[in-house]
Amino acid sequence: MRTCLPKLLLASGLLLGTGLSAQAQLKLNTKTIGAGLKAAKAATVSDAEVIEHTREYVKWSDENNPVAPANSPYAQRLKKIVAGLDTYDGMSMNYKVYLVKDVNAFACADGSVRVFAGLMDLMSDQEILGVIGHEIGHVKHKDSKDAMRTALMASALKEGASSQGGAAGALSDSQLGDLGQAIANASFSRAQESSADAYGYDLLKAQKVNPWYMATAFGKLNDLSGGAKASKGAQLFSSHPDSEKRMTIVMEKAQKDGFAKPTK
């Protein structure tokens, strides 16, 4: 999966069984930067700067996309799914639903996890938890932080930002847009994806959920990735190499651990 700004797989555009509709797609900031990222240094970006700018970007994303209110069926369902996971494995996490038709989810270095309504319509609670577990794995392994740092560096260097000291400054709307483009073009390595899969698998076990559900989540996404509903952009998990092979690895591991395949 992507970090902070995912590439997307479109679903049907209707939110099932809730009385709500999500004709909108995720809104991305596509403005062009004019002056470079002054906060990012040409040689390095500190962990503190990475987290600060991550929070800025998440704040922009939350303000510019339809976030499910706390009393909505989607928000209530997600709250139930992630019960007890506000803190996990030494991390502080926060979760929200975007009322958009895209089938996706993403996590950021600051512990923000955003799940899209299209994904929730497609999957069971257990499968959604598997996806979230995978995303938390990227945060725990610092993949999300490293990807954001790379995006900050790429944005700064592209515009010729100079190496200067001083505290990180707030990013402008256009700078956030340029940063978003850099993040969207980022991807995780096979090793990173496999490690996140293993983390999600173990999270399901720790939550007393059959880890087979991670494999069934892969299966549903795999089916969509080759069908008429697929978008031109990369989609959840299909941007990860060997998604079908990884699904098989999860199934074989679950069988070896003595878990039976879910009947539904």
Q: Provide the CB-side half-sphere exposure for 3 (13 A, CA).
A: 36
- For the chain, what is the domain count? 1
Mean pLDDT, each 10-residue run in order, the chain (264 residues)? 47 34 53 38 72 88 92 98 97 96 89 94 96 95 88 62 42 61 65 93 97 92 62 42 79 95 83
CB of 110 closer than 8 Å to CB of 51: yes
The verdict on whether 135 is a catalytic residue reads: yes
Let me know if residue 103 belongs to a domain: yes
Classified as helix, coil or strand, 99 is: coil
Let me know if residue 214 belongs to a domain: yes
Let me know if residue 39 belongs to a domain: no
Domain that holds residue 132: 47-256
CA–CA separation, 191 and 195 (whole Å): 6
Global pTM reads 0.78
Let me know if residue 64 belongs to a domain: yes
Let me know if residue 251 belongs to a domain: yes
Which neighbouring-strand residues pair with 87?
A: 92
Let me know if residue 222 belongs to a domain: yes
Q: Which of 135, 193, 244, 252 is catalytic?
A: 135
CA–CA separation, 13 and 1 (whole Å): 21
Let me know if residue 6 belongs to a domain: no
Question: How many other C-beta atoms are found inside a 10 Å radius of the C-beta of residue 21?
Answer: 13
Pull the structure tokens for residue 69. 């209110």
pLDDT computed for residue 49 by the predictor: 85
Quick one: which of 136, 114, 123, 20 has its CA closest to 67? 114
pLDDT computed for residue 126 by the predictor: 97
